[in-house]
A and B are shown apart, each in its own frame.
Chain A
């Protein structure tokens, strides 16, 4: 599907032609080299305090992704929602940190790419994560997952799965799934 690339090209940031953006489909490494040549950098390289892997830009990304991937979050009140989004972020962070070097490097490339404003804008159509809103985030995911470029598919899938699994591991999610929680007679027996 071409939409993602054409749209991305139309919305290019400074120094990025549509042709440059097309090349991004070949791999995230290439996009980062490209970013280097136009003087962009993802900024700080340290995890947020209390996190093992996620950096400030990544946290913003997942804060925006959580309600877009998991619309179930909309059924909670604002205070609960905030707590749950933080719990999702903790799960995402723990999972990323537990990955072996090969996977951590790939994720870092993806997250760094998305942390560079012009590249993010070109590839996702999103300017700032905290202003994107659910529809825009969903449109970005749909474009990436629908793209003919395997690299964008891979990126879209990993963002969706990290977020969705991180939410549905939380006991608060269970009532919406029909999973009643640990099988009662066994749980009671082994915890008595």
Chain B
């Protein structure tokens, strides 16, 4: 059964899709609203604004990649074509690997489909501590419901062996665990979400909201990097984009001039602050690009008797919040437990081993389980996040340091994960840490973890969740934008992506971005009418 490709058919039917790599002459593009970035924020905003009858221009730095190219189900191709910096993005010192999408659909094209509403304690914290209004639990509920319905968010009950380890461990220990809602329609349970869904089941913005926007007259330009927003007298007057070559990185020299009534920055929490920094957007209180949050991720590896095949089956379907809110929002660092899928390439990176050790561990991949802890950063003073700055060429650089407060959370997370894996029947367990060796019992693991030196380059650290840097707040001293995402100093500029979050979310953030964007984009429609 050859699967129809949404875009091949759509473009044939008249969708306006421009590959900037194919442009040889400068262009001027006009619209009611220009949206920069097509991920969870930009993709949702595009649909809402286009359906409201506004002329939408959606600009994406990455290329348009569709199911036609996902059907090889190949990890190497996915890394090269669908991820920022070919999957090799990292913090400035290289200590934390950053998995972030970069193609039409942004990270929604490659994420693992976990769709959580913003946890109530997070929304309450924003209201009480960050001067955010309009996004309380009751106020957000209809927007989450709307997006859950729109993107087919459903509870997933067919747990693969990797997720079953997490479920079993929690059951044995009496820890809280729950099934994860996923945004899928007709999912084949393959496990290839991270490589671009080969069957268009995942309701990424690539296959859902962007096609709908295109049907309603929106224009999509891909392989264009918006360099700068031009502004004067408190208003954005235009934007300059540079077309990229086929490689998706090198400017071709062709410039695009963009004129719109309103502009929406939606490049995610690294690229949006970078765009505003490049544009020298007013920042009277020095907060732009600050308080970047990443849910630092640490992992624990287990070898199981049974086959796990951690590459197959819905990648994330069980999570545990047992350690997330134990001390409220502001106690010692909370964390959410989940599992990652492990394909061989990324698996080798997580193992961070070489020689015969690497060979042995890779040979055991089919029997390996990994558990990860997402550390909830940004809720206390000792966890103030990182910051985005610019390299000489204007590309973004993310600095992120881990305080003692965070490292204390890392050690507890290592302990929780090892205890859980042994409870689930693991034969041996080690932390994903350069000094960790396999322990064959929980008591041995406990001793070993107590002695692990907690430092960068020793602990394997990841992030797949970029948040903050353009925080929302009614108080212009604390927020780049207001609660509706409107820039405090530039009247016709909004930010609609994860960068507006004043703290991390405490759960995988896509539905938080979908819901908040739906609410703020709907309000924007009223402003523009």
Contacts and interface: CB of A to CB of B under 8 A. Distances in A.
Interface of A: 68-72, 91, 94-103, 105-106, 134, 138, 141, 145, 150, 153-154, 157-158, 160-165, 167-170, 173-174, 176-179, 182-183, 186-187, 189-192
Interface in B302-324: 309, 311-312
Interface string B379-394: 0000000000001110
A91 B349 CA distance: 14
B232 interface: no
Contacts of B363: 176-178
Contact of A187 (B73, B76, B367): B73
Given A95-B88, A100-B397, A190-B3, 9 more contacts: A69-B355, A96-B88, A99-B88, A154-B95, A160-B352, A160-B353, A177-B363, A183-B190, A191-B71
B447 interface: no
Contacts of A161: 348-349, 352
B449 interface: no
Contacts of A173: 344, 362
Contacts of B1: 189-190, 192
Interface string B392-407: 1101110000000000
B88 A103 contact: yes
Contacts of B94: 103, 106, 154, 157-158
A68 B366 contact: no
A77 B458 CA distance: 35
7 contacts: A69-B358, A98-B249, A145-B434, A150-B93, A161-B349, A179-B311, A183-B192
Dominant SS among interface residues on chain A: helix
B344 A174 contact: yes
Query: What 7 A-B pairs are tightest by C-beta distance, nearest first?
Result: A178-B366, A98-B86, A153-B457, A182-B73, A169-B76, A169-B345, A164-B348
B345 A165 contact: yes
Contact of A177 (B72, B198, B344, B455): B344
A100 B79 contact: no
B188 A186 contact: yes
A168 B457 CA distance: 21
A161 B356 CA distance: 15
Contacts of B455: 150
Interface of B: 1-3, 67, 71-76, 79-80, 85-90, 92-95, 188, 190-192, 198-199, 249, 309, 311-312, 343-349, 351-356, 358-359, 362-367, 391-393, 395-397, 434, 455-458
B73 A186 contact: yes
A96 B434 CA distance: 23
A130 B177 CA distance: 53
A68 B190 CA distance: 34
Contacts of B2: 190, 192
B73 A168 contact: no
Nearest to A162: B88
Contact of A169 (B75, B311, B362): B75
Interface centre among A70, A164, A167, A173 (most CB of B within 10 A): A164
Contacts of A177: 344, 347, 362-363, 365-366
Given A100-B89, A165-B345, A169-B79, A141 B354 contact: yes
Interface centre among B79, B94, B354, B434 (most CB of A within 10 A): B354
Contacts of B3: 189-190
Contact of B392 (A72, A98, A101, A190): A101
